[in-house]
Amino acid sequence: MKTTVRHSCLSGSVAALPSKSLTHRALFCAALAEGESEVHSALKCDDTVASVNALSRLGVTARWEDANAFVSRHGELKEPTGMILCGESGTTLRFMTAVCATMPYEAHIAGELSLLRRPIKDLAVALNRLGAECACDEEHAPVRVKGPIRGGSVEMAGNVSSQYISALLLAAPLAKTPVDIRIDGRLESKSYVKMTLEMQSKFGARVSSEDDLTKFRSEPHAYQPADVQIEGDWSSAAFLFAGAAIAGEKIKVDGLNHGTTQADRHILHVLETMNAGMKVEGSSVTVEKSQLTPVKADVSDCPDLFPALCALCAVADGVSTVTGTRRLRLKESDRILAMSNGLKQMRIDTKESESSFTIYGGRPHGATIDPHHDHRIAMAFAMLGLCTEGVTVLDSDCVAKSYPSFWQDLESLGAELTIS
């Protein structure tokens, strides 16, 4: 599928999608609790469906009713037969590896081609230190793991994927003895770890931590079934805010929690810094077209904001610099390369270093963009299509990884687009 987005003026309102990150965590906590849990307003997208499918291989059942997911497990987790496939979801891969390390069975875990380039070695090493047998091919999936983990102490670098920390935290209460986790250096993407701890607490899993999240301790105990509500997703809303600032008369996004631990709420600070017209009221945010000023922004704690931020910087009047970009080469695509190539096709100059990305804002031109099967790259360039003669996004159905209704929502707000 390919979608062409042409010069348009956006207006209207739309409800924020449920948070993908929180839905993942709720599904896994529910699977670890014996009984039935209800996840209200769960996001059903390619990644969360991958989690449900993977968990089903362990005897966990899930059914979707309207916007809710009902997750059930009766008895112990079951021995999986055959390969457990995680689609293209890095979260599913890391979380499943840790969950399987709590069971006395061997599991083989893999996924689609793009997932097989995502690193997992550091998590495998940590699980081995806690008593599991875990191995991967070089640094990537497929993964072979057999538990159960016994417990003990483990140290993780703070500048690798926060999903490793979250995965260990999910498994820790099921160890036979206490688990201590220490973070070496500054923990990046700290808010994602906070989301994990908060979701665990809703399911009765008590994990203590230092205020700076450099030390964690979990005593052995069981998860309990729960009913939880998933809040609106700031990650997907960020693209709508970008579109509004680039080409919006006025767009309102409802259903956002301003007291959230989601890192991508940082988009509000970015928009304010770039002089975007913005109004925050209750659970809604309204953004309108603005003459944007350049920005210096650090995405080390909110890497998923990078593509939307690049779109904003491309139309800003001046030179913007984004730092904290080192880990972005290991997402669904090499996001540094994907954004650099795409922006250059649109006649926007860029410059990159090991940990920063500079964008020379100007007037983007139309282009045909290969998003490299990366949902956030596709959505970012769609936003830039709104201020050009037309941007054609190839493989545009890849947005279903996190935002299945993206093209419909964009069209409902007044975007002129053609899907073929």
Task: Give catalytic residue positions.
Answer: 304
Q: Which residues pair with 314 in a beta bridge?
A: none
The CA distance from 8 to 180, in Å, is 53
Do residues 283 and 260 make contact, with C-beta atoms less than 8 angstroms apart? Answer: no
Q: Which residues pair with 146 in a beta bridge?
A: 106, 133
Q: State the CB neighbour count (10 A cutoff) for residue 208.
A: 10
The CA distance from 140 to 119, in Å, is 5
- Residue 251's H or E segment, with its range, is strand 248-254
The CA distance from 196 to 25, in Å, is 6
What amino acid is encoded at 208 in this protein? S
Q: How far is CA 30 from CA 33, 75, 253, in A?
A: 5, 13, 29
SS3 272: helix
Calculate the dihedral angle through the C-alpha atoms of 187, 189, 193, 198, rounding to the nearest 10 degrees: 130
Q: How far is CA 107 from CA 32, 85, 276, in A?
A: 17, 11, 50
Read off φ and ψ for residue 181, nearest 5 degrees: -120, 125
